[in-house]
């Protein structure tokens, strides 16, 4: 498990499958046991044992784990964390002044939009006939002629 945990600090997960990383970790802990397990997975008709086929891959993973599989320095992590805090958009951090100002602006726009919509509805109700305007005879004939033109095609 120590080697598996160490592999999490490497790029091995991006390159190799989890089963390959597990086999390499087992090979680091107990090379004989890993070889015997890999050989047990080989079919009877296979010319080469699985341990020989996988050997270059397993060796590469073992090298990665041994060379780069250590936790990062705490101070380096703190430095990256400080830099990330500086990169944050203050408008997206709840509680910040910029966030509260943006929220107030959005609330103001929403209130203006609601007020404008309510005003348009009130104006429509008071100023116009809800059933439409009356048409004189000439307008009725024009509208009927427009509707009738579609049937000629």
- What span, in angstroms and rounded, lies between the C-alpha atoms of 28 and 49? 19
pLDDT value at 153 more than 60: no
pLDDT of residue 135: 58
What's the length of the chain? Answer: 153
- How do the domains of the chain map onto residue ranges? 2-71, 92-127
Structure tokens at 67: 């060379």
What predicted TM-score, i.e. pTM, was given to this entire model? 0.51
pLDDT of residue 54: 86
- Which pLDDT tens digit goes with each residue over 42-83? 766 667 787 788 899 999 999 999 998 888 889 988 998 888
Mean pLDDT of 21-29: 93
């Amino acid at each position: 498990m120590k080697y598996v945990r160490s592999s999490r600090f490497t790029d091995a997960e991006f390159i190799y499958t989890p089963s390959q990383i597990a086999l390499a970790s087992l090979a680091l802990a107990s090379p004989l046991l890993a070889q015997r397990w890999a050989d047990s997975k080989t079919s009877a008709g296979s010319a080469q044992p699985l341990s020989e086929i996988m050997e270059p891959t397993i060796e590469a993973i073992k090298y990665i784990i041994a060379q780069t599989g250590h936790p990062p320095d705490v101070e380096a992590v703190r430095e990256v964390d400080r830099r990330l805090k500086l990169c944050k958009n203050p408008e997206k951090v709840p509680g910040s002044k910029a966030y509260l100002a943006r929220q107030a602006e959005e609330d103001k726009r929403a209130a203006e939009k609601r007020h404008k919509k309510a005003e348009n509805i009130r104006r429509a109700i008071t100023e116009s006939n809800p059933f439409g305007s009356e048409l004189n005879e000439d307008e009725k004939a024009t509208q009927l002629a427009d509707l009738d033109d579609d049937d000629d095609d």
